[in-house]
Chains A and B, each alone.
Chain A
Amino acid sequence: MIELLQVPSLLTVQDLGRTGYRKLGVPVSGVMDEVSARLANYIVGNPDNAPVLEFLLAGPTIRFNASAVFVIAGDVGVKLNGVPIEPWRSYWAKRGDVLEVGTLRSGLYGYIAFAGGIKCERLLGSCATYTRAGLGRPLKAGDRLTLGYVLLTGKEGRVLPRELRPDYLAKEKVIRVILGPNLDHFTEHGIETFLSETYTVTPESDRMGYRLDGPAIEHSEKGADIVTDAVPIGSIQVPANGKPIIMMADAQTTGGYAKIGVVARVEVPLVAQSRPGERLRFKAVSVEEAHELLRRREKMMTAIKAFLNGELRAYRIKTGGEELIAFAEVEKE
Chain B
Amino acid sequence: MKQITWRKGLFVVLAILQVSAALYMVWRWEDILQTGQSYRWQTAPVDPYDALRGRYVRFSFKGNKVPLVGEAVPGVGQRAYALIGRDEKGYAVLQGVQAERPRKGEYVRVKVQQVSAAGVSVNLPFDRFYLEESLAPEAEKAFRAAAGQESSVAVRIKNGDAVVEELYIENIPLLDYLKR
A binds B: no
Residues of B within 8 A of A (CB): none
- Could you list which residues of chain A lie within 8 angstroms of chain B, going by C-beta atoms? none
